[in-house]
A and B are shown apart, each in its own frame.
Chain A
Amino acid sequence: MRAATSPAPARILLADDHALVRRGVRLILDQEPDLTVVAEASDGAEAVDRVRDTEIDLVILDIAMPRMTGLQAAREIGRRTARGEPPKVLMLSMHDNEQYFFESLKAGACGYVLKSVADEDLVSACRAALRGEAFVYPGAMGALVRDYLDRMRRGERVPETVLTEREDQVLKLIAEGSSSREIARALTISIKTVERHRANILAKLGMRDRTQLTRYAIRAGLIEP
């Protein structure tokens, strides 16, 4: 467990304009021994203020908020480096669209979690973010992997990779648009194992963190620079 390596739980700021959503997310996070919600905000501007006056390790931002959107707040928070490292940022969103994911990366977030899978993904996304790794949401994972396979087929130079047989199977299933759950069922392995394969694949393709991912997405033309 992560908590063993860092005894104090990670301090989280939660920003969402819907109080009941905040409460639901908070209950899920506070159950984990290594995570604790220390502050809440109901819009982007308030989130920026909280970051300024509270010690925070991770900010979870809803994309659609009044006054200042989650993306604007993420940019603002990334800029506040006066007190050292800015906190890690994770976006929480209704939109199942890879453009929001890439835009979030550009704004400085290291992950993107869909609200419709928040009950499953949020905790592992928080842990990945705290480790400094990117949490790629499945829709964008498909786009990235498909583009990678296209380039390989066209004989373009791609990072030299040695995927294990299992990782190769997972890669193909991701490209076909399967969810982690479906992949787990197809290969009769646990969802956790699928997630680990996913993380390994990304690392081997040179897309471990948000900087590498953003660079790749721009080069591949998935987003505008």
Chain B
Amino acid sequence: MRLYWRVLVINGAVLTAATLALVVAPVSVSRHPVVSEAAVLGFGLFLMVVTNALLLRSSLAPLDRVVREMASVDPQRPGRRLKPPDSGPGRDLVLGFNAMVDRLEEERSMSNAKQLAAQEAERHRIARELHDDIGQQLTVVLLGLKQAEQRAPAELADELAALRESTRDGLDDVRRVARQLRPGVLDDLGLASALASLTHDFAEHSSASVRRVVAPGLPPLSSDTELVVYRVAQEALTNAARHAGASAVELSLTKVGDRVVLEVADDGRGFDVRRDGAGLRGMRERARLAAGDLTVTSSPVGTTVRLEVPA
């Protein structure tokens, strides 16, 4: 029943009861009321107010409770919803509130995904410019210095050799930064090579051993989807090495039906998957970019990150 009608009915019922009481009860009010009559009237009025108050309170209390609960929903930790009461005015309010939180979280996650996509595009552009323009220019300088060194008088040779080493360092830096921005191997050689390179780097910088299984004959993925798979694998490996203290990690890329499945399983100490950390949230948002499903299961003996994407 709508809140308006509920209040109206309660007030109406109390007033009706009072009117009936006036009609039925053997009381009358003289032209100049006496004290006893005023006392009876006053008592009747008091009874009406108390009855009304009790009825309204029991009817509105669920609303107050819902309002208090609303404050406990934290946008930083999405996924929490209020439990709607079985009936009463609180139910509609909770249902409406939950639907709004759904829309908000959806919107937020969409805009995060868009932001991620824009960020990747920008990184791609910068990495390409570093490689194609600055890298080439520095290569020209490097080769030119080598030439100059061979023809220069002896007293300049050391100076030129030092300059050449600086140029080489610069070239190495440009390459390193470009690689951090965007794994060129993914664009040039594809996902399987990029994952091979990722596990190779991982093995080099971590004490954990890593096994990689890439099933043959995987269906081709769009370059955006490949990037999502790559970034999720990267994040999962980082977590395994940095937080889980894993000693063995297995990364696999297989086909299930018409979907491609990435699984990264470690034997680390695990974590509480309900506590949505930034890494986990990032993976979820990336999965959404590729219309994929991300599931993370974790126990004290290991964590498995599984990403399913449509081919």
Q: Which A residues lie at the B interface, using CB under 8 A?
A: 18, 20-21, 23-25, 27-28, 31, 63-64, 69, 71, 94-100, 103, 115-119, 143, 221-224
Residues of chain B within 8 A (CB-CB) of A18 are 136, 139-140
Q: Which residues of A contact B192 (CB under 8 A)?
A: 224
Contact with A along B128-171 (1 / 0, CB 8 A): 00011001110110111111001000000000000010001001
CB within 8 Å: A-B pair count: 91
Interface hub of A31, A95, A100, A223 (most chain B Cβ within 10 A)? A95
Q: Tell me the smallest distance from the CB of A126 to a CB of chain B, in Å.
A: 14
Which of A64, A94, A143 has the most chain B CB atoms closer than 10 A to its own CB? A94
* Complex Cα gap A95–B171 (Å): 11
- Give me the interface of B with A, judged by CB distance under 8 Å: 131-132, 135-137, 139-140, 142-147, 150, 164, 168, 171-172, 175, 179, 184-185, 188-189, 192-194, 196-197, 200, 212, 214, 216
Q: Which residues of A contact B171 (CB under 8 A)?
A: 115-116
Interchain CB contact under 8 A, A28 and B185: no
CA distance A64 to B214 in the complex (A): 26
| Nearest-Cβ distance from residue A135 to partner chain B, whole angstroms | 18
Determine which of B132, B172, B194 lies in contact with A64 in the assembled complex, contact meaning CB atoms within 8 Å.
Answer: B132
Of chain A, the residue at the smallest CB distance from B212 is A221
Q: Tell me the nearest residue of chain B to A177, going by C-beta.
A: B204
**Given A69-B188, A117-B168, residue A21 in contact with residue B193 (CB < 8 A):** no
List residues of chain A with CB within 8 A of the CB of B136: 18, 20-21
A183–B245 alpha-carbon span in the complex (Å)? 33
B181 to chain A, nearest CB (A): 13
Pick 17 A–B contacts, CB within 8 A, sort by A.
Answer: A18-B140, A20-B137, A20-B140, A28-B143, A28-B146, A69-B188, A94-B139, A96-B172, A96-B179, A99-B196, A103-B193, A116-B168, A118-B142, A119-B164, A119-B168, A223-B196, A224-B214
Inter-subunit contact B147/A27 (CB<8 Å): yes
